[in-house]
């Protein structure tokens, strides 16, 4: 137990430290974590022997639940409305067509049975939401014709179909006596029912119940994501469909503290993605991969250049999509963690297979991410699909619904330069708005241009939040009488290079300091480190 916890802590630490550097590489950052896991594995540098498929499936499935929930939560339905029908058809019929074409190729070229070919085709039929979202965001791919929304909605919603096909084929190959129509009905019906029901109940609770504990809303939503997957799964429903649909409903509803939820799930899913890819890299045995490399390469090449493009063309052509859009949607069909998780599910059910399905699918995913993921920005440029006036961040709820506006407060005293002036006479920066005045004798006031600011007023000011924190951190330092900064001016401070005191909080005042500003007992310094 201790060794597992130690390994997990080390892995998370390495992933967090490495993530800042992997974003700068021309390859998908998630691919780096797979290679990092392989470096820790039994054929790597650290030679850690790990072959626990049960633990891997459990960890990966739990992580996939939160990845899919947040994928739905972050999908902006308003932005995706114009491509919603295309996305849904692509994530359902398109997945079935891709699975069918790939199955036929495997059967006729690799000479596998129809059932085994269909299982492989079904496992790798869906695209990976985590990989697609990661590349769109980190590469800032602003695509024409609302293609980013199309890809986000399609990649986030096609895993349930692939999972259903996998469950059906695993049941058939393991000799279980099942009714395929009944199983499909249960998967779809209970997945839809619980996804909508749990999502609506959660929205009502968040809007109508006040939580007495800090971050109660965040804890509730964390539990909701788990329940949205587990409850339908308990009655043979599709948990992935349920949790994704629940995420869509909640992400596009007006609920309190949504920004806190976004920040929490950003961190949670970021760690989940890194952990999953690292764990899968650790689980694989690289010396076993040459046995499946040739069939994996053949399948990946067919899937990338024939199977996926034909399926996308068959679905999007009736909608009169342009050939460049069809081309980029075809190329963006990256395989990822969901396919590997479904492969582990099949392996654990001990279905008879010619190849080790985990190794085969792992190799396909590795090749897909390396080729398609790396060249996706380049292909977007070659197909003239880059829109210089678009912003891919607007297709995500965490950008569109949660505006980049923050509110600050300033107390007015007799010596403030704004005191006894009308608002129209005050020179303020662009995007800077005095939204509210709180005055003791009057209460809340919505100010106009003729409003005069008086001593004692509390101004609530709206301004754009600073978001570019890649190379900047801000921290608060309380100053006491014994602090080394106390009773010194700013120019007397011995601070490291790249460190700057940008603000001082003193009682009810907010002070923008200069070199002569003296730091006093009780001050709170806001220090920026570049």
Q: Tens of pLDDT along the chain (530 residues)? A: 577 677 767 777 877 777 767 767 777 877 888 888 898 888 888 888 888 899 889 989 999 999 999 989 988 888 788 899 999 999 999 999 999 999 999 999 999 999 999 999 999 999 988 788 778 877 778 899 999 989 989 998 999 999 999 999 999 998 877 888 998 999 999 999 999 999 999 999 998 888 877 788 899 999 999 999 999 999 999 999 999 999 999 999 988 878 788 888 988 888 888 888 888 998 999 999 999 999 999 999 999 999 999 999 999 999 999 999 999 999 999 998 899 999 999 999 999 999 999 999 999 999 999 999 999 999 999 999 998 777 776 666 654 444 556 777 888 888 888 999 999 898 887 778 888 999 988 888 889 889 999 999 999 888 776 655 555 667 788 999 988 899 999 888 888 877 888 889 887 777 888 888 999 999 999 888 76
Distance CA 391, CA 43 (A): 43
CA dihedral 162, 367, 271, 283 (to 10 degrees): 90
Do 77 and 131 share a domain, yes or no? yes
Give the CATH number for residue 287: 1.20.1530.20
> Cα 66 to chain center, whole Å?
9
Domain end residue (candidates: 467, 493, 517): 467
Task: For residue 363, count CB atoms less than 10 angstroms from its CB and return exposed for 0-12, middle for 13-18, buried for 19 or more.
Answer: buried
Please say whether the beta carbons of 486 and 477 come within 8 A: no
Domain end residue (candidates: 396, 417, 444): 396
Do 218 and 117 share a domain, yes or no? yes
Domain end residue (candidates: 440, 467, 494): 467
Do 157 and 298 share a domain, yes or no? yes
Paired tokens of 386: 């880059």
Do 286 and 146 share a domain, yes or no? yes
| Rg, the chain, Cα only | 27
Distance CA 247, CA 358 (A): 29
Q: Is the dihedral of CA 353, 357, 363, 365 positive or negative?
A: positive
Distance CA 242, CA 197 (A): 9
Do 264 and 161 share a domain, yes or no? yes
Range of the domain at 484: 469-530
267: which DSSP letter? H
CA dihedral 375, 378, 384, 388 (to 10 degrees): 120
Q: Is the dihedral of CA 228, 231, 235, 236 positive or negative?
A: positive
Q: Based on the structure, what is the number of domains in the chain?
A: 3
Do 309 and 338 share a domain, yes or no? yes
Do 332 and 408 share a domain, yes or no? no
Do 349 and 371 share a domain, yes or no? yes
Do 407 and 476 share a domain, yes or no? no
Beta-ladder partners of 406: 463
Do 215 and 259 share a domain, yes or no? yes
- Residue 203 half-sphere exposure toward CB, CA atoms < 13 A: 17
Paired tokens of 346: 């099949």
Element (H, E) at 382: helix 374-382
Give the CATH number for residue 524: 3.30.70.1450
Do 261 and 251 share a domain, yes or no? yes
Q: 354, 435, 423, 453: which is closest to 112 by C-alpha?
A: 354
Q: What angle do CA 377, 380, 383 make, to 5 degrees?
A: 150
Q: 277, 255, 279, 275: which is closest to 267 by C-alpha?
A: 275
Q: What is the 3-state secondary structure (H, E, C) of 287-299?
A: HHCHHHHHHHHHH
Do 42 and 145 share a domain, yes or no? yes
């Amino acid at each position: 137990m201790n060794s597992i916890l130690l390994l997990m802590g080390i892995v998370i630490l390495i992933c967090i430290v490495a993530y800042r550097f992997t974003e700068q590489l021309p390859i998908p950052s998630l691919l780096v974590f797979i290679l990092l896991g392989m470096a820790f594995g039994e054929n790597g540098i650290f030679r850690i022997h790990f072959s626990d498929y049960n633990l891997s499936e459990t960890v990966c499935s739990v992580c996939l639940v939160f990845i899919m929930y947040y994928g739905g939560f972050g999908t902006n339905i308003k932005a995706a409305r114009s491509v919603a029908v295309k996305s849904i058809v692509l994530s359902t019929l398109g997945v079935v067509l891709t699975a069918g074409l790939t199955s036929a190729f495997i059967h006729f070229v690799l000479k596998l049975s129809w059932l085994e070919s269909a299982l492989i085709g079904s496992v790798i039929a869906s695209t990976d939401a985590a990989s697609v979202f990661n590349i769109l965001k980190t590469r800032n791919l602003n695509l024409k014709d609302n293609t980013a929304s199309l890809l986000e909605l399609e990649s986030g919603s096609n895993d349930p179909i692939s999972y259903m096909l996998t469950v059906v084929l695993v049941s058939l190959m393991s000799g279980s006596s099942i009714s395929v129509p009944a199983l499909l009905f249960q998967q779809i019906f209970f997945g839809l029912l619980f996804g909508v029901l749990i999502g609506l109940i959660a929205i009502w609770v968040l809007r109508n119940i006040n939580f007495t504990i800090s971050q109660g809303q965040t804890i509730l939503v964390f539990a909701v994501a788990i329940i949205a997957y587990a409850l339908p799964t308990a009655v043979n429903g599709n948990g992935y469909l349920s949790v994704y649909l629940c995420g869509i409903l909640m992400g596009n509803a007006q609920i309190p503290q949504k920004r806190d939820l976004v920040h929490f799930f950003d961190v949670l899913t970021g760690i989940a993605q890194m952990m999953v890819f690292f764990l899968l890299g650790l689980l694989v045995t690289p010396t076993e991969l040459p046995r499946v490399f040739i069939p994996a390469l053949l399948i990946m090449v067919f899937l990338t250049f024939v199977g996926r493009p034909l399926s996308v063309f068959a679905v999007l052509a009736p909608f009169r999509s342009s050939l460049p859009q069809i081309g980029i949607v075809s190329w963006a069909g990256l395989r990822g963690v969901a396919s590997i998780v479904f492969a582990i599910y099949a392996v654990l059910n001990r279905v008879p297979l010619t190849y080790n399905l985990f190794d085969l699918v792992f190799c396909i995913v590795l090749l897909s991410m390396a080729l398609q993921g790396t060249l996706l920005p380049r292909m977007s440029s070659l197909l003239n699909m880059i829109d210089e006036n678009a912003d891919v961040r607007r297709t995500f709820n965490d950008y569109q619904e949660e505006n980049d506006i923050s509110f600050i407060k300033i107390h007015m005293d007799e010596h403030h330069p704004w005191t006894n002036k009308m608002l129209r006479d005050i020179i303020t920066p662009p995007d800077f708005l005095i939204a509210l005045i709180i005055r003791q004798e009057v209460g809340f006031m919505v100010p106009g241009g003729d409003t005069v600011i008086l001593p004692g007023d509390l101004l609530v000011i709206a301004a754009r939040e600073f978001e570019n924190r890649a190379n900047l951190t801000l921290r608060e330092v309380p100053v006491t009488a014994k602090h080394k900064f106390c009773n010194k001016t700013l120019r007397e401070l011995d601070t490291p290079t790249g460190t700057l005191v940008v603000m001082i909080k003193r009682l009810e005042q907010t002070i923008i300091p200069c070199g002569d500003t003296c730091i006093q007992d009780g001050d709170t310094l806001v220090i920026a480190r570049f």
